[in-house]
Structure 1
Amino acid sequence: MKYVAAKATSWLDRLEKFTVVTLCGSIVVLIFMGVLSRFFFHYSIAWSEELARYMFLLGALFGAAAACKTGQHGGIPLLVDKLPPAWQRVTEVIVGICMLVFIGFLAWLSYGTTLRALASGQSSMTTGIPVWVINGGMFMAFSLAFLRTIQGLILGAYRVDKPFVDEHE
């Protein structure tokens, strides 16, 4: 069972990296094309900015989901380090629970907006991409962040006293 879990985690790690790198690289190429098009051909690619915005949003959300596994969230270690060791551990558990509640709430909200966008048939103005596709990507990223936070809590990534080192890196 441990082998299957390790294999699934390794596969998920690679998929996250591929997704984030592909989105970020695509943003660079897309914006570069838009700038060249305006500068040399005096023609603006109207959809490039909107598509780059969607890619940036999804890249940031999937990158944040990947960071949840290793505890690289916006914590306040300077404050937690001042507490006694027992209180540090309590704080870590409370932070983990709060993160799960918050990310779970965001996943639930994005699921609802995805269903509403699907029912409405709305599409974006310049690209024509159905809005439910973008919202569905947000739902997937928040759901992945929820699972990665659980994984990080199990692996001890949120421990203040021991920095987490991912053996797959």
Structure 2
Amino acid sequence: MRKIAVKALLWLDRLEKITVVSLCGSIVLLVFMGVLSRYLFHYSIAWSEELARFMFLWGALFGAASACKTGQHGGIPLLVDKFPPWLQRATEVFIGVCMLTFIGYLAWQAYGTTMRAMASGQSSMTTGIPVWVINFGMFLSFCLAIFRTIQGFLIGSYRIDKPVVE
């Protein structure tokens, strides 16, 4: 059972990296194509900017979820380093709980927004992509961030005295 879990986590790591790298690479190509089209052929591809914006949003959120595994979040280690060890550990737990609460709230809001967009049938202006698809990507990334935060806390990434960075 443990072997299956390890393989599943490695698969998830690869999938996250492939997703973020693919989105970033696609953004570069899409924006380059839009600029080239506009200035070289005097034809504007209207949907390229909007699609690049959606890809940027997803790439940033999935990248942030991936960073939660290694504890790469905003923190003040210089201040926490001055605390005694027991208070450092309490701070680590407090930060983890605060992060989970905040990300959970964002996931809940993204879920509500997704359901409302699905009910309304709204679609994006130039690409025609249903808005619920874009919002569902945000919901998935927040759920992944919750999972990765818990995982990072369990493997010790949030340890101030011994951070785990890959």
5+ residue gaps, structure 1: none
TM-score (ref. length: structure 1): 0.96
- After alignment, is 54-63 or 37-46 more displaced? 37-46
**1:79 counterpart residue number:** 79
Residue 165 (structure 1) shift: 3.9
**1:25 counterpart residue number:** 25
Moved segments of 4+, more than 2 Å: none
**1:91 counterpart residue number:** 91
TM-score (ref. length: structure 2): 0.98
1:10-39 superposed Cα distances (whole Å, 9 cap, x missing partner):
000000000000000000000000110111
**2:145 counterpart residue number:** 145
1:58-79 superposed Cα distances (whole Å, 9 cap, x missing partner):
0000000000011011112122
- Report percent identity of matched pairs: 75
1:39-63 superposed Cα distances (whole Å, 9 cap, x missing partner):
1011111111110000000000000
Secondary structure of 1:100's aligned partner: helix
**1:65 counterpart residue number:** 65
5+ residue gaps, structure 2: none
Instruction: Give the alignment of 1:19-168 within 5 angstroms.
Output: 19-166=19-166
Give the number of aligned pairs: 166
Coordinate RMSD, CA, aligned: 0.8
Residue 138 (structure 1) shift: 0.2
CA distance in structure 2 between the aligned counterparts of 1:112 and 1:163, rounded to whole angstroms:
35
